[in-house]
Amino acid sequence: MADAVRLGIVGCGGIAGAHLNGYEKLAAEGYDRFAITAVCDVNADGANAFADRIEKNLGTRPQVFATADEMVAAGAADAADICLPHAFHHTAGVTCLQGGVHIMVEKPVGITVKATRRIMEAAEGTDLVIAGAEQIRRCIGARAIEWAINDQKMFGDPLFFTQEVFSGAPFDRSSYKFAWRSLKVMGGGGQILDGGAHFTDMVQHVYGPVDEVMCTMRTIDETMIELPDMEPQPADIEDLWTATLIFESGVIGHWGWSNYAWGEKLSTRMHYGTEGSFSDRQEWQHPFQFGADLKLKDGTETPYEEIEAAYLAGLSEAEKSRLFPYGITEGITIECWDFIEAVADGRSPEIDAQEALQAKSLCFALYESAAAGGAPTKVADVRDGKIHAYQDPIDEYWNI
């Protein structure tokens, strides 16, 4: 354990608990390349509850801090797992990197493209790791279907997909975790940038970069939002959108969602190629997390279980231990392992900042298109900072 990576968890809320499950699972397998030495949360009760749990389950009590600044000033960690509301990813990220601390950042890396670039600039000229905490493409279902589509061409050449999920299922905006998600200045946007960040990562991972988008959105629920240190203000994020995505490869995607669609629920998650279709088993924003079923034009059907078995049978032992360490097939534990390995071995993480930025630039392009009345918008122009009208008020609010 002498050279174990000293890890700090920054933000001890919902997803940090899932990351901690992952670290505990790794420790239970005998993985000893990390020790959790610090936890940070402005909510002292939350941070102390994490410290208690880590002491009980991993054997050593971490130091408790309110913020990443305090943790870095105390020199309490070599690496930080940042699980904060989106508005604080770049502040905590830059503090860590400037203090020589490697980071893994929950999605989206930064609350805007400019915020993301601030984080990337802070690591320039160093060997510090910036890892994107993106678990969906590391799940066995996603890895297997990506292989089935791109390696095995199981449904021929990809042509188009449609994912539309409309239901009446509003969030409880009186809770902190949905309150900050209800304001652009705290979340950067609504579900396009939140759960949708997984969708934009996965569809580009499978089909390559998106060239252009057209998007229309609405804010239906304008409930007053109350957050510490902020004036009460109405929710202003999208809770309905419909979008067309045109990939550089020519693939066309349609993506729509609302949780204010009352009455009958609609849920379609279909991907089509020249020879057949994949029916995605999930209905959140996590393409292929639980695999997909294949149906070909001659009527042949292949359930996902058979595709997964064929995928695993074709992997060497070395590939299996890289893709599914300790036989773990769930993405969050794999991303935590990958981050520690990248820091310990001085290698690149599976998803670096540039790749994470590409996924989130698609989210921002959808917002920019909607802000321009649904105008066709090039993702590269948004990623390269040429189009930013939607993001400007957020950047101005935080002085980015």
Ligand X SMILES: NC(=O)c1ccc[n+]([C@@H]2O[C@H](COP(=O)([O-])OP(=O)(O)OC[C@H]3O[C@@H](n4cnc5c(N)ncnc54)[C@H](O)[C@@H]3O)[C@@H](O)[C@H]2O)c1
Stretch binding ligand X (CB under 6 A), from 13-21, 249-257, 361-369, 387-395 = 13-21
Q: Which is nearer to ligand X, 181 or 378 (CB)?
A: 181
Q: Which is nearer to ligand X, 45 or 127 (CB)?
A: 45
Q: Which is nearer to ligand X, 122 or 363 (CB)?
A: 363
Give the dihedral of Cα atoms 258, 259, 265, 270; nearest 10 deg.
50
DSSP 8-state secondary structure symbol assigned to residue 83: -
User: Taking CB under 6 A as the rule, does residue 374 contact ligand X?
Assistant: no
* 185 in Cβ contact with 87 (< 8 Å): yes
Site string for ligand X, 30-69 (x = CB under 6 A): ----------xxxx--x--------------------x--
What is the distance between the alpha carbons of residues 255 and 371, in angstroms, rounded to a whole number? Answer: 17
Q: Which is nearer to ligand X, 187 or 253 (CB)?
A: 187
Residues within window 156-185 making contact with ligand X, judged by CB under 6 A: 176-177
* 142 in Cβ contact with 204 (< 8 Å): no
Q: Which residue is nearest to ligand X (CB)?
A: 13
State which of residues 51, 54, 102, 106 lies at the interface with ligand X (CB under 6 A). 106
Query: Sheet harboring 130-133: ordered strands across?
Result: 63-65, 34-40, 5-10, 79-82, 102-106, 130-133
Which among 259, 164, 155, 149 has a CA at the least distance from the CA of 204?
Answer: 149
**Closest distance of CB 263 from ligand X, Å:** 28
* 308 in Cβ contact with 43 (< 8 Å): no
Number of residues that make up the chain: 400
Site string for ligand X, 253-272 (x = CB under 6 A): --------------------
Which residues, 6 or more positions from 295, have their beta carbon under 8 angstroms from its beta carbon?
Answer: 276, 277, 279, 301, 302
Q: Quick one: angle between helices 44-58 and 14-28, nearest 10?
A: 10
Q: Which is nearer to ligand X, 46 or 374 (CB)?
A: 46
User: Taking CB under 6 A as the rule, does residue 70 contact ligand X?
Assistant: no
**Closest distance of CB 391 from ligand X, Å:** 17
Q: Which is nearer to ligand X, 84 or 365 (CB)?
A: 84
**Closest distance of CB 398 from ligand X, Å:** 12
Q: Which is nearer to ligand X, 180 or 247 (CB)?
A: 180
Q: Which is nearer to ligand X, 5 or 40 (CB)?
A: 40
State which of residues 37, 95, 112, 135 lies at the interface with ligand X (CB under 6 A). 135
State which of residues 12, 120, 192, 292 lies at the interface with ligand X (CB under 6 A). 12
User: Taking CB under 6 A as the rule, does residue 84 contact ligand X?
Assistant: yes
Core vs surface per residue 278-314: b (16+ CB within 10 A) or e: bebbbebbbbbbbbbbbbeeeeeebebeebbeebbee
Which among 207, 196, 130 has a CA at the least distance from the CA of 362?
Answer: 196
Contact set with ligand X (CB under 6 A): 11-16, 40-43, 46, 67, 83-86, 88, 106-107, 135, 176-177, 194
